[in-house]
């Protein structure tokens, strides 16, 4: 946090008995409620600020976790599979939100994600891993055309021959 780095986790880790606002205040280390409320408004969470985190819809819980990470005022935001468990509509909303937050907060975002539509929609640069080894790097368009990436993720178009 003191180096300007914040992250979200693949599995949502909220304090279930605390309110949404209290969960975000944890990220601010209790440095003032007004900025936390502003952040809740920015992420569309103001209407649920006083609700307990337990029982919130999953997509809302993901946004609360994102708000908590942003509350520390990071320059670098690490997002670990933020689209996991979200509906198609929620993934589209997440992409719009990430682009807006990146601009509004002057953030660098490092996204670890399997949802390719989200990655290609928000990334300036993409690094592709195959079994932990980097196989490509470049713009989203360049990576999508890379034959090594296509082979790794879609397989070969060559017909399979049965052994003789």
pLDDT in tens, 84-97: 999 999 999 999 99
Beta bridge partners of 137: 127
3 exposed, middle or buried (CB, 10 Å; 0-12, 13-18, 19+)? exposed
Continuous H helices in 1-84: 20-27, 33-42, 58-70
At 3 the pLDDT is 81
* First-to-last C-alpha distance (Å) of the chain: 61
In the chain, the domains with their CATH numbers are 5-75+88-109 (3.40.50.300)
Q: DSSP letter at 131?
A: T
Q: How confident is the model at residue 27 (pLDDT cuts 50, 70, 90)?
A: confident
Rg, Å, the chain Cα set: 19
> In the chain, count of helices (H) and strands (E)?
7, 5
- DSSP code at position 19: B
The Cα–Cα gap between 117 and 29 comes to 35
Angle, alpha carbons 156-133-86 (nearest 5°): 80
Arithmetic mean of pLDDT over the chain: 91
Q: 77 φ, ψ to 5°? A: -115, 120
**Is 12:62 a contact under the CB 8 Å cutoff?**
yes
Mean pLDDT lowest among 50-54, 91-95, 151-155: 151-155
């Amino acid at each position: 946090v003191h180096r300007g780095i914040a992250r979200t986790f693949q599995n949502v880790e909220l304090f279930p008995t605390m309110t949404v606002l209290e969960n975000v205040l944890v990220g601010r280390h209790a440095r003032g409620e007004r900025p936390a409320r502003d952040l809740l408004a920015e992420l569309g969470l103001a209407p649920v600020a006083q609700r307990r985190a337990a029982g919130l819809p999953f997509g809302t819980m993901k946004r609360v976790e994102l708000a908590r990470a942003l509350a520390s005022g990071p320059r670098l935001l690490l997002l670990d599979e933020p689209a996991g468990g979200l509906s198609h509509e929620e993934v589209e909303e997440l992409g719009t939100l990430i682009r807006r937050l990146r601009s509004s907060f002057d953030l660098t975002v490092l996204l670890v994600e399997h949802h390719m539509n989200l990655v290609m929609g928000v990334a300036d640069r993409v690094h592709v891993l195959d079994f932990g080894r980097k196989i490509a790097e470049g713009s989203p368009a360049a990576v999508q055309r890379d034959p090594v990436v296509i082979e790794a993720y879609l397989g070969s178009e060559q017909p399979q021959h049965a052994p003789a």
